[in-house]
Structure 1
């Protein structure tokens, strides 16, 4: 009798050392991350248990993707702003017929014929259910059960796996394999919303205590060094109130994070009375996304309240869309969101195993879980801001590259993608630093020292990464008075990727940085090869934001504040372009790296972490504030001229 994966724990686990592969097979992936976080169990594995397998197929024309994107994003291109249709996107990047046929033939040769597998709607995945024994034979590997040192959760995984040499070019990666993505026992009990952490971590931090309980305070511009408000930001970055509703702006949140309407109303009445009470975002629910209000706490409401209070107020009357992603049972990750706005992408899903550390699987088999999968049901906004992040070191390279290519495709559609750069300086989430140079092995030091730990997707070259600044103490805010790198409560995330090569648009800026301001750190502390992507690209204020939170006014800090603020400025530029008969600006980086003068250069402050002072803000681009903070009027002039 065939048994489900839920039976695995009770019956087996063996040592997971890949079996020798025949000469026609080559190793496709080998685990190089999270080596110290999981312990192999030593019981015997039941070879008849069923696992759902997904094969990510190599897409066509990705080798030309960069050139395609530059063609519609570079200011010197005659095709600037001539963004693609979804149909053109799908047709250009769909896997070649040869890819699909070759993989299906391989499966058939191993007893997995057409009736047992299916090709996804997007034609980018082949999916099937098979026994452990079948998958081990197919991939020339051995599976084991691993226990998380942190959570005690158990996962089905292997150390490496192989595919026929002639298929390597046709396959991106296969799950479940090395990624600790298959949950062995499905938990039917709903997770505790108070203690549960999202898959991807929000950046917002709160300082103990509230500004005030009453809502009749005034915050003059003379106090912007201690209380940041929408009026402060308008002066700092030289932009006006919104007057139009001619573009689109999206904010991404991950359940159980949820805004509270009463908090939004408190913010409006205190700081932005021009926004009517009850104003709420357009609600796009993805994979069961819900605004839970059973539990109310800063850890559950702070991120969403911050993002939406500032995004809505800075672009009003432009409507803001909230992409609320993931149900209350298994939550979600970036790929779940991407599935919903681009049907040409849709990742794997379904079956008896849930994907936890990487992506959540829908339909969700848990009791009360979302019983569908949202694929291509929403249109991407012209600007999308996300204030969550992973560590590069926690993810397989193939996974990050595939997702990064999706941001490239969204740029082709005309969408500006913004991600906050992180709040722990040169360290990763919660101040994690790597043991090994290059973060090889994905192992961390507990003591806050070690190798710098860059974040993802901030290091993807097809998004715009946003760092954090602060108003200098005792300084009056003006559009020409530069700030400093944020060193209050948080430190702006920044550094250099260990995965992605330096993009051409950034090459001169990074070369100038190393030529004039080369750090004294060695390759044991960060990737000083000068050939990898640096981040962030830009910055905006990230300290002392006044928000309505749980019925009171509080102060928050983080690049979570910086990203939606920067996105609001780009949204206002898109609206002015619309008035002039022009489309959205799309992917920003090729234009902004050629126009340093449109930014306020930040030349003081640092982003300490990992037992060091981190990097220092200097003249020109640097790996903690990027090009600096925006001057709306200068950027608008540039974008109206293209």
Structure 2
């Protein structure tokens, strides 16, 4: 059984949750960063102690040790409860522990809610520290205590010092190096934000626009997961040295189209429109309807001009058109054009997350699907000019498949933060949602092609150069998501020939976690990999304990996609293309199951690992990075392309045979 906790014995050297080191009185260090060469405190500058911080205290939840068992009950193809996901419409009835597969969405909140003692102990600590009870609120799921506190109050409460940090890109952020809590309450707290995570905004500073969150997934300055642009092949700005090629199956080795993907992965057009599929985008990333129309007219003529996604705005999410460039439109245009084309006539939902003032994080997206998770990574309602004045916790119901082409690094955030977020993907899996994340575009290096210093990746210590310890991605290493790597058609080969790992412009992200233990569904595949193809690298390069989560799980083509961006059709590269493509295949399987009166497939990893032959195994290519050749694609699962690429013709019968 996998528990969503630190793999302590295996990766003690990588852990970021500090041991109980005494500080003052009975306080102990709860979380600590090792520091990052990408961020450094500004000398001689200290934030005004009157600035307000939205302090969020994540309380220790209950029954998480059973979470994996419950998820596997409804996801394991060998289970007689396969597909019996949670349903919000079910009659409320609190089940006995032996009948957890009958849980409703409301009941799952109750199952994992902190014990009353935990809430009381932490609340009493706040009050005894001088925080008025009237200022303390408890989240709907009873798993967060919230209080707006000044920096001065937070520093006294947490025995820490907040500083202004500056990123190598010039961005600034308020954070601290470590914080402490009384020893007697440490077991009742997972984490406290904002502290060491570099992922939360402040409130009330007139210079707040200069102190925005450091990891906004939609910010091209911070996100190495955004797709890479190649030459323009059609329309204004087309490369005069490139003769326009016909969009045909004979040219798939140089430009990928929806028809190429159908030929590659053995599926046809959708027909039933009986499932639900969504892609997630983060402002300022936005699509242009004119680009969608241009794509339809050239590459998906069955789709009428004007066809658009269902727009679900999260925390002020807006399809902004104020700024237009590849950095602003490339990701959204790519994701939506291929998702819509591959599952049409099904309507694709767009979860547009974050306003133009604060942006958003993955937590903001999760908040919108589950009000019990509410983290308030950004501050809503936002009192500042142009800020979003509402709060969207629990506003939307998750679709059956959700693809996200964004990511960060495990080293960017603390292990406690990542475990907490990973548990939310576990809960979505219980409810029957398939969650896919791109594995990254820099091989064994991390977001921004950054590598780590020795074995300190989980402490956030980056090497200033492009060599060093491999830097795993997140959320791709969460065991409750399906991580999608990238492949390519071999140069000069036909569309029906075996693919190889992507080595054109980008390299498929892959490797081994420094935070998460190996999930049970993956253990046989990873054990076989180490038995038959063990890499020559040592613990200096990666976590070679053979007991931790490996990624990606699967892959799909990620090179030479023909995408309409800003009025032209250009070639685009990235696992940003791979994830929505794989998600489209799962959506087509879902519509067949739903049409047959069955549930959506939900968390797919257990079924895929139990039936690896339904995927196209990739056995050549690598994912270089950090001054090395990276890992190599081999027979069976590997940390470059996972189990391989989809084969709809083989996948459908297996999933249709399940209950």
Q: Secondary structure at the match of 1:437?
A: coil
Using the TM superposition, give the Cα deviation of residue 299 of structure 1 relative to its aligned residue in structure 2, in angstroms.
0.8
Using the TM superposition, give the Cα deviation of residue 182 of structure 1 relative to its aligned residue in structure 2, in angstroms.
5.0
Using the TM superposition, give the Cα deviation of residue 34 of structure 1 relative to its aligned residue in structure 2, in angstroms.
2.7
Contact 1:157/1:182 (CA < 8 Å) preserved in 2?
A: no
CA distance in 1, matches of 2:382, 2:546: 44
Residues 16-73 of structure 1: CA distance to partner in whole angstroms, max 9, x if unpaired?
xx99645643321122353661225446776666543221111111111111110110
Single out whichever of 105-114 and 382-391 deviates more from structure 2: 105-114
Using the TM superposition, give the Cα deviation of residue 554 of structure 1 relative to its aligned residue in structure 2, in angstroms.
0.9
Q: Which residue of 1 aligns with 2:97?
A: none
Q: Which residue of 2 aligns with 1:12?
A: none
Using the TM superposition, give the Cα deviation of residue 529 of structure 1 relative to its aligned residue in structure 2, in angstroms.
1.0
Q: Which residue of 2 aligns with 1:174?
A: 192
Q: Secondary structure at the match of 1:245?
A: coil
Alignment of 1:336-351 (within 5 A): 336-348=364-376
Using the TM superposition, give the Cα deviation of residue 424 of structure 1 relative to its aligned residue in structure 2, in angstroms.
0.8
Residues 421-440 of structure 1: CA distance to partner in whole angstroms, max 9, x if unpaired?
11111111221111222415
Residues 301-344 of structure 1: CA distance to partner in whole angstroms, max 9, x if unpaired?
11111100000010001110000001011211100111011112
Structure 2: 5+ residue stretches without partners = 1-19, 87-103
CA distance in 1, matches of 2:344, 2:160: 56
Contact 2:54/2:379 (CA < 8 Å) preserved in 1?
A: no
RMSD value, Cα? 2.4
Using the TM superposition, give the Cα deviation of residue 117 of structure 1 relative to its aligned residue in structure 2, in angstroms.
1.1
Residue 47 and residue 367 in structure 1: after superposition, are their counterparts in 2 closer, same or farther (change >3 A)? Answer: closer
CA distance in 2, matches of 1:199, 1:286: 21
Q: Which residue of 1 aligns with 2:479?
A: 461
| Alignment partner of 1:621 is 2:637 | yes
CA distance in 2, matches of 1:111, 1:335: 29
Q: Which residue of 1 aligns with 2:160?
A: 142
Task: State TM-score, norm by structure 2.
Answer: 0.88
Give the one of 104, 114, 119 matched to 1:95: 114
Structure 1: 5+ residue stretches without partners = 1-17, 349-358
Q: Secondary structure at the match of 1:458?
A: coil
Give the one of 632, 638, 642 matched to 2:648: 632
| Alignment partner of 1:327 is 2:355 | yes
Contact 1:216/1:270 (CA < 8 Å) preserved in 2?
A: no
Using the TM superposition, give the Cα deviation of residue 150 of structure 1 relative to its aligned residue in structure 2, in angstroms.
2.0
Q: Which residue of 2 aligns with 1:38?
A: 40
| Alignment partner of 1:187 is 2:189 | no
Using the TM superposition, give the Cα deviation of residue 167 of structure 1 relative to its aligned residue in structure 2, in angstroms.
1.7
Residue 144 and residue 361 in structure 1: after superposition, are their counterparts in 2 closer, same or farther (change >3 A)? Answer: same
Q: Which residue of 1 aligns with 2:593?
A: 577
Contact 1:34/1:394 (CA < 8 Å) preserved in 2?
A: no
Residues 78-130 of structure 1: CA distance to partner in whole angstroms, max 9, x if unpaired?
11111113212212112222221221122222232422211122322111233
Residue 19 and residue 148 in structure 1: after superposition, are their counterparts in 2 closer, same or farther (change >3 A)? Answer: farther
Contact 1:33/1:393 (CA < 8 Å) preserved in 2?
A: no
Give the one of 128, 141, 149 matched to 1:130: 149
Residue 216 and residue 424 in structure 1: after superposition, are their counterparts in 2 closer, same or farther (change >3 A)? Answer: closer
Q: Which residue of 2 aligns with 1:287?
A: 315
Using the TM superposition, give the Cα deviation of residue 274 of structure 1 relative to its aligned residue in structure 2, in angstroms.
0.8
CA distance in 1, matches of 2:53, 2:583: 42
CA distance in 2, matches of 1:33, 1:597: 44
Using the TM superposition, give the Cα deviation of residue 507 of structure 1 relative to its aligned residue in structure 2, in angstroms.
0.7
| Alignment partner of 1:208 is 2:208 | no
Contact 2:617/2:645 (CA < 8 Å) preserved in 1?
A: yes
Contact 1:435/1:445 (CA < 8 Å) preserved in 2?
A: yes
CA distance in 1, matches of 2:230, 2:491: 17
Using the TM superposition, give the Cα deviation of residue 154 of structure 1 relative to its aligned residue in structure 2, in angstroms.
4.6
| Alignment partner of 1:439 is 2:462 | no
Residues 248-293 of structure 1: CA distance to partner in whole angstroms, max 9, x if unpaired?
0000000111111111111111111111111000000111111111
Single out whichever of 161-170 and 219-228 deviates more from structure 2: 161-170
Residue 237 and residue 265 in structure 1: after superposition, are their counterparts in 2 closer, same or farther (change >3 A)? Answer: same
Using the TM superposition, give the Cα deviation of residue 228 of structure 1 relative to its aligned residue in structure 2, in angstroms.
0.8
Give the one of 237, 258, 265 matched to 1:230: 258
Single out whichever of 97-106 and 452-461 deviates more from structure 2: 97-106
Using the TM superposition, give the Cα deviation of residue 566 of structure 1 relative to its aligned residue in structure 2, in angstroms.
0.2
Give the one of 592, 595, 601 matched to 2:617: 601
CA distance in 1, matches of 2:502, 2:25: 55
Q: Which residue of 2 aligns with 1:11?
A: none
